[in-house]
Structure 1
Amino acid sequence: MISWRKHYKKGLIAISLLLSTGASVYAQGDPKKGQELFKTNCTACHALDKQVIGPALGGVVDRLKKEQNLDTDWLHKWIKDNKALRASGDKYANEVFEKFNKTEMLQFPNLTDQDINDILEYTTNPPAEEPAADNAGEAANANDLASIEAAKAQQLNSKIMVAALIAIAGLLFWLLLKVRQLVKIQQSPELSELNSTRLTSFSKLYEKYSYVGKGVIALLALFAAYGVWNWLMWIGVYKGYAPEQPIYFSHKIHAGENKIDCQLCHSSAKYGKVSEIPSVNVCMNCHRAISEYKGKYIEPGKDREFYTGEIKKIYAAAGWDESKQAYTGKTTPIEWTRIHNMPDFVYFNHAQHVVAGEQAIISSFNAKQKDPANKIDVVCKACHGKIDTMNVVQMANNFTMGWCIECHRTTEVDMNNGYNKEYFKNLHDKLKKQYGEGTKITVDAIGGLECGKCHY
């Protein structure tokens, strides 16, 4: 009896060890590390809770075990080299490949077994999301404070208006008294005799003071001419112009928060004359996988649902069926409102400034800034302003001829560039002899003020 009990206890211990081992297959994975690895390697094609390009991966370990009786070894093989797994004749691997339109999954031979265990642990037990900064709450608090301040300001304005009305009433009463006094004086004989000697018409007044009148008219004509000239000079100058676009696009989120390089979307700015408006397929490169906004930054007055709704507008324009993960072929052009537009008689080449003048423009711009916060790190910002801080893009500068000329007069040519150093060597030597050793070559010295450079 004692022997039976001893063996019974050993059996229980063995079973408990086996169960604990089976339950801890994924305790060896770190879900937090897995989350980082998942974001780096998987989010372009997968999400935990829905199908994107590939299937939803939430609970994939349990699902695979229940539906296909496959363990994690199969997942390791699939993730590291799914192509080799399919080539080996694995039935389920080929079924998955056929099911998802023969879309070839990337191979990840660089991931270690531990990395894959971390990822699988994340798909099985994702850690709770850290509470994002409640920008909406902050915005609400800001709105409450703004409402309180507005109420105080309104109360102050009401008091000022009451005081002003009292003052006006007092002034009107005082004027009434003065008018009565003037009426009495008008009726006196002394004033009647004085009035007979005064000028009683404008023509007589002008005849007496004709030179003064002509001078005033000439001065008014001069002011009017200056006003018309000044108005003509500012035609086509739209600094601060920030039109509403058909799809809300925040450069602060894309270029600021997510650090997306300007030239990823505006690729022709570096090698072409014009910096084109990106086509919808450029948007879909990212938003085919990013179907809803989950970022921490939220502009005051908006919420995540608003940004997600704008992404759906991109899908509608591109003809993308999110449920089927396929294009329908029905597209709708997006009618963007152009912000920066040079006149037809002006030649401006983006490549010339972005490539040849990049370092020179950045250095010259930063040298003029007294506040370090105003300095720039990308050449685009010299003309377009700090786009990465703008929710709604606006024209940051005047873009007048004088503005361009001033830049050409103050921007030094980059002589560290091997081509410029050799090409302008003789000019540099000549300027040193003429103006001294410390002289610098600015853009105007190499033809930057020639009319034919910009007008043709």
Structure 2
Amino acid sequence: MISWRKHYKKGLIAIGLLLSTGASVYAQGDPKKGQELFKANCTACHALDKKVVGPALGGVVEKVKKDGQDVDWLHKWISNNEKLRASGDAYANKIYEENGKVAMQVFEGKLSDQDIDDILEYTTNPPKEEPAAEAEGATAVDTTASIEAAKAQQLNSKIMIAALIAIAGLLFWLLLKIRQLVKIQQSPELSELNSTRVVSFSALYEKYSFVGKGIVGLLALFAAYGVWNWLMWVGVYKGYAPEQPIYFSHKIHAGENKIDCQLCHSGAKYGKVSEIPSLNVCMNCHRSISEYKGKYIEPGKDREFYTSQIKTLYAHVGWDESKQAYTGKTEPVEWTRIHNMPDFVYFNHSQHVVAGEQAIINSFNAKQKDASNKIDVVCKACHGKIDTMNVVQMANNFTMGWCIDCHRTTEVDMNNGYNKEYFKNLHDKLKKQYGEGSKITVDAIGGLECGKCHY
């Protein structure tokens, strides 16, 4: 009997150890590594606290256990969900049906068992977000700035008081001098002298009429020049940066996230006009990016502000975030156009982007004395460094003279596939006309012909 009890106790201990080991298999992962793996592989379709394309994954291990599955099932699902569903696994096919039959990416060969354990540990015990150092730095800077501002205000007050005292003293001195002048004018000697002087403007003009006519003529010339100069700048809006109905930072999208200009403005390469992207283009990314978590924050704004603009986008396209579906209720966005050529001007984006891309970049960079002003994308030659702008502004004058100057200084790239084919019969003529090895600029191939831009 004693022997049986002894073995019974040992059996209970063994079973307890086995159960505790099986329950903590996933807990052997590293939540910090899991967080990195989750961001790299999962965030396009999943979040911890809400449904995106796929279900919320916070506490997924416990959820699966409640449904009668174990961690080993999760390993199989994450590794190759297609194989698991094809095997006839009822629970796998149920999950597939519940999430709109959207197939999950296969990670077999990409994620090891340890990687999956790390991800599962992150979904179970996500590490607390450390307070951003930049926020602490900003607070310290704000405190210092407040102290400096208070000191500056105090100094300005003292200067203002001193200036008022000085002005009061000056006024008192002027009053005394005026009193003295009045007394002098009342003397008989000065009255006799005043009788011989010019005392009216008409008399003064009559005496010095040639000087007056000269001054009037100069004023007329200055006025004419002013009117001419004003007329020459009609329609020139360099620096124009209007507010838009949805705040869109090119610095975040093109600068911080390195999104290619032509991903959104595809018409710049294949058409005359570089169109304003439709909101469907925005939703290609923001269907799964519903809140801003980037490191860059513009002074005076916060992450909540950027997230609110994403929500505004959802409202305009009619996207129901909770159901991950479109409602059909849309509201057009009235963007304010910034760059707009007059109707009498013809400009083709694709001609410059395809045929003139490298030539324009080389010509622009050759003019820059400071290396930091050089460009790597042809768009920046005309539109400025868009990837540094929070609010887009017109970077150049876009006058006729500005375009002509570019045509006179930009060397044609004859090795470009387009130019090589299009001007193949013109090469010899240009060499004879300008000499072997001469610099052939755009004006030599019709870049200054009126009909090229005006029709």
Q: Same fold (TM over 0.5)?
A: yes
What per-residue deviation string (whole Å, max 9, x for no partner) do you get for residues 98-124 of structure 1?
222233333344424434444334333
- What TM-score comes out, normalization by structure 2 length? 0.90
The answer for the alignment partner of 2:259 in structure 1 is 260
Q: How far is the alpha carbon of 1:24 from its aligned partner?
A: 4.7
Query: 2:344 aligned with 1:342, yes or no?
Result: no
Please tell me whether residue 150 in structure 1 is matched to residue 149 in structure 2.
Answer: yes
- How far off its partner does 1:246 sit? 1.2
| AA of the residue aligned to 1:86 | R
Per the TM alignment, residue 319 of structure 1 is displaced from its structure 2 partner at its CA by 0.7
1:122 correspondence with 2:122: yes
Contact 1:412–1:443 (Cα < 8 Å) also in 2:
yes
Q: How many residues align?
A: 451
1:89 CA drift (Å): 2.9
Paired letter, 1:132: A
Unmatched runs of 5 consecutive residues or more in structure 2: none
The one-letter code matched in structure 2 to 1:42 is C
Secondary structure at the aligned position of 1:144 is classed as helix
Aligned equivalent of 2:441: 442
CA shift digits 1:369-423 (9 cap, x unpaired): 2222222222222222222222222222222222222222222222332443562
In 1, Cα distance between the equivalents of 2:112 and 2:384?
47
**1:47 shift after superposition:** 0.8
**Aligned partners of 1:132 and 1:296 also within 8 Å:** no
- 2:50 maps to 1:26: no
Q: Is the 8 A contact 1:362 1:379 kept in 2?
A: yes
Q: Could you say if the C-alpha distance between residues 169 and 28 of structure 1 is closer, same or farther in structure 2, counting changes exceeding 3 Å?
A: closer
Q: Which consecutive unaligned segments of at least 5 residues does structure 1 have?
A: none
Of all paired residues, the percent bearing the same amino acid is 82
The letter for the 1-side match of 2:18 is L
How many angstroms does 1:216 deviate by? 0.6
What are the residue-to-residue correspondences of 1:340-419 with 2, within 5 Å? Answer: 340-419=339-418
1:9–1:369 Cα change, 3 Å: farther
Q: Secondary structure at the match of 2:316?
A: helix
**What code does the residue aligned with 2:289 have?**
I
The Cα shift of 1:82 comes to 3.1
**Corresponding residue for 1:58?**
58
CA contact (8 A) 1:133 1:296 kept: no
Q: 1: distance between equivalents of 2:111 and 2:446?
A: 59
- d(CA) in 2 for partners of 1:388, 1:157: 39
Tell me, yes or no, if the aligned pair for 2:267 and 2:275 is still in contact at 8 Å. Answer: yes
**Aligned pairs (5 A) from 1:56-205:** 56-67=56-67, 69-114=68-113, 115-135=115-135, 137-205=136-204
Q: Give SS of 2:398's match.
A: coil
- Aligned pair 1:453/2:452, yes or no? yes
Q: Call closer, same or farther: CA 1:16–1:97 in 2, change over 3 Å.
A: closer
Partner amino acid, structure 2, of 1:45: C
How many Å apart are 1:181 and its aligned residue? 2.2
Cross-structure match for 2:245: 246
Partner AA of 1:79 in structure 2: I
Change in CA separation of 1:41 and 1:431 when aligned onto 2, cut-off 3 Å: farther
Query: 1:187-234 CA distances to partner (integer Å, 9 max, x unpaired)?
Result: 222222222222222222222212111111111011111111111111
In 2, Cα distance between the equivalents of 1:5 and 1:111? Answer: 50
The verdict on how the C-alpha distance between 1:20 and 1:252 changes in structure 2, with shifts beyond 3 A counting, is: same
SS of aligned partner of 1:176: helix
- Larger displacement relative to structure 2 (148-157 or 314-323): 148-157
Query: Is the partner of 2:26 in helix, strand or coil?
Result: coil
TM-score by length of 1: 0.90
Per-residue deviation, 1:5:
9.6
- 2:338–2:394 Cα contact (<8 Å) kept: yes
Which deviates more, 40-49 or 142-151?
Answer: 142-151
**Alignment partner, residue 236 of structure 2:** 237
